[in-house]
Amino acid sequence: MKAGSGAAPRPAPAEVRLFNTLGRRLEPIEPIEPGSLSLYTCGPTVYNHAHIGNLRTFLFEDLLKRSLRLLGYRVLHVMNLTDVDDKTIRGARERGVSLDEFTAPYIESFFADLDRLGVDPADVYPRATRHIPEMIEMIGRLIERGVAYVADGSVWFRIAADEDYGKLSGIRLEEVRQGARVAQDEYEKEDVRDFVLWKGAKEGEPAWDSPWGPGRPGWHIECSAMSARYLGETFDIHCGGVDNLFPHHENEIAQSESASGRPFVRIWLHAEHLIVDGQKMSKSLGNQFTLGELLERGLSPRAIRFALIAVHYRQKLNFTFDGVRAGAAALRRVDEMRFRLAHAAAPAAPSETLTPRLETFRRDFAAALADDLNISAALAALFELVRDLNVEIEAGRIGGEDREVIEAALREADSVLGVLFVDEAGREAGGGTDDAEIEAILARRVEARRRRDFAESDRLRDELAARGIVLEDTPRGTRWKRRSD
């Protein structure tokens, strides 16, 4: 950029290393276009409300994107919506509605969940049903190149024609589907390992016209075609949960690289699964929660967001209610420090150590994230800063105008975390505890006392006390004031 063009220059991107599933090693990011990154993340299959496992993966991707931005990159993010597949078709048929009518409420609920959890929206959310021509075009190219064939109205990818098959997952061709029972409708395949690109229409199913007759796309081709449409044939980063690794991502590579003759993706990232109370989530165990169910049980969006991002993405996340509450308590320590700071008088002399201390924090926080999103180290840096600042406030060494620089450093960290400058409901909030918030907590306490839930009433009193609010129960109701010390 020329000097004097007006816009503030972006900081030079930091060196970022990520664990590439392709090759299984930490690698520096080398963007195709300097300073910019193109990111594709596999989105939800909209046949149901998302569960918190799905949300863990989407929040990992949010953390990734926000971290890359903090570290100086522009990010172009595409997330697809799988709105046609076996499950959506079955659901629509069972309810006797069209595919679009069936998926609409789940799409809406997905976006509402992202919004509640403060997820930064993708630039584009392409829907599979709106990109059928691109998929047909890509399948046509695969047939022309001899790696796909038509059999009985369906189109198959010929795995044996792809020498590279297995390079992401490490699976050997002879292991693929070996011993697996071959379903009736797959008899026409040349080889049981071949996977479907286009499924010939069955009676009563939604179908689109194609050169091979009416039908619908297979799941894998959706992502290959939509990523090429919005990010080009080669792009920087592709993410999903570990269950996407095989066969979905392996098949995406096979399709995309066979169609374009070029490398598909530079870096593949996979998030480990979320488990609940040490067990796999499943309907039969009754431990498969949606965001709505957690909110009904009294957890706040900010506490849930924090719990879902606070464990490194390559580790399993064991979700427990106590764990979420412990995270919320840790966040309140930051609130309390900010509240004290907002009410601390200016020190007699300006602090000489504050600026370097904040610099150290900013550097450590960014360096942790640049190291394969080391969230534990980033949070440790934050809580250490809060501890140090509490000591300084207590000693009367910071206060007054110092608040501005401290809040700026916290805001920068929160551009990644998204949990500090929001209230319990996940809405944008300024610093400290304001009057409306105190009144809201008081109202909850009155309600708790009416229920004779004195444990909850005491807990709310303690919460207010921690924020420097003193309560006085009088015959005419509860009064509150800010502690003056």
Summarize as ranges the residues that interact with ligand AMP (CB under 6 A): 42, 44-45, 53-54, 56-57, 240-241, 243-244, 273-274, 281
Q: How far is CA 191 from CA 159, 258, 291, in A?
A: 8, 18, 42
DSSP state letters, 297-321: TT--HHHHHHHHHSS-TTS-EEE-H
Secondary structure (3-state) at 25: strand
The item of Zn ion, ligand AMP, none sharing an interface with residue 56, based on CB under 5 to 8 Å by kind, is ligand AMP
Of 35-43, 144-152, 165-173, 282-290, which segment contacts Zn ion by CB under 5 A? 35-43
155 touches Zn ion (CB under 5 A) = no
Q: Pick between residue 62 and residue 407 the one whose CB is nearest to ligand AMP.
A: 62
223 touches Zn ion (CB under 5 A) = yes
Q: Pick between residue 44 and residue 166 the one whose CB is nearest to ligand AMP.
A: 44
> Whose CB is nearest to ligand AMP?
241
Q: What is the per-residue binding string for Zn ion in 36-75, x denoting contact by CB under 5 A?
A: ------x---------------------------------
Of 69-77, 216-224, 313-321, 361-369, which segment contacts Zn ion by CB under 5 A? 216-224
Q: DSSP letter at 184?
A: G
Secondary structure (3-state) at 180: coil
Report which residue type is found at 416.
V
Long-range contacts of 401-405 (CB under 8 A, 24+ apart): 401/346, 402/341, 402/346, 402/347, 402/350, 402/351, 402/354, 403/341, 403/342, 403/344, 403/431, 405/354, 405/355, 405/358
The CB-of-293 to ligand AMP minimum distance in angstroms stands at 15
The item of Zn ion, ligand AMP, none sharing an interface with residue 223, based on CB under 5 to 8 Å by kind, is Zn ion
Phi, psi of 200 (to 5 degrees): -55, 145
Helix (H) or strand (E) holding 173: none
Q: Pick between residue 273 and residue 332 the one whose CB is nearest to ligand AMP.
A: 273
Secondary structure (3-state) at 431: coil
Of 205-213, 219-227, 293-301, 357-365, which segment contacts Zn ion by CB under 5 A? 219-227
CB atoms within 10 A of CB 423: 18
The CB-of-233 to ligand AMP minimum distance in angstroms stands at 22
Which alpha helices (DSSP H) does 273-430 contain, by range?
291-296, 301-309, 321-342, 354-370, 375-394, 402-417
Q: Pick between residue 40 and residue 339 the one whose CB is nearest to ligand AMP.
A: 40
Query: Rounded CA gap, 146 and 305, in Å?
Result: 47
Using alpha carbons, select from 303, 210, 282, 222 the residue that is nearest to residue 255.
222
The item of Zn ion, ligand AMP, none sharing an interface with residue 274, based on CB under 5 to 8 Å by kind, is ligand AMP
Q: Pick between residue 46 and residue 354 the one whose CB is nearest to ligand AMP.
A: 46
114 touches Zn ion (CB under 5 A) = no
Instruction: Please give the distance of CA 229 from its chain centroid, rounded to a whole number.
Output: 23
The item of Zn ion, ligand AMP, none sharing an interface with residue 281, based on CB under 5 to 8 Å by kind, is ligand AMP
Residue 65: is it exposed, middle or buried by C-beta count within 10 angstroms (0-12/13-18/19+)? buried
Query: Rounded CA gap, 192 and 158, in Å?
Result: 10
Q: Pick between residue 227 and residue 244 the one whose CB is nearest to ligand AMP.
A: 244
The CB-of-361 to ligand AMP minimum distance in angstroms stands at 31
Q: Pick between residue 223 and residue 281 the one whose CB is nearest to Zn ion.
A: 223
The CB-of-121 to ligand AMP minimum distance in angstroms stands at 16
Of 135-143, 215-223, 265-273, 449-457, which segment contacts Zn ion by CB under 5 A? 215-223
Q: Pick between residue 243 and residue 277 the one whose CB is nearest to ligand AMP.
A: 243
The CB-of-21 to ligand AMP minimum distance in angstroms stands at 13
The CB-of-115 to ligand AMP minimum distance in angstroms stands at 17
Query: Rounded CA gap, 236 and 25, in Å?
Result: 16
User: With contact defined as beta carbons under 8 Å apart, do 320 and 277 qualify?
Assistant: yes
The CB-of-377 to ligand AMP minimum distance in angstroms stands at 22
Q: Pick between residue 16 and residue 274 the one whose CB is nearest to ligand AMP.
A: 274
The item of ligand AMP, Zn ion, none sharing an interface with residue 54, based on CB under 5 to 8 Å by kind, is ligand AMP
Q: Pick between residue 59 and residue 311 the one whose CB is nearest to Zn ion.
A: 59
Residues lying near Zn ion in the complex (CB under 5 A)? 42, 223
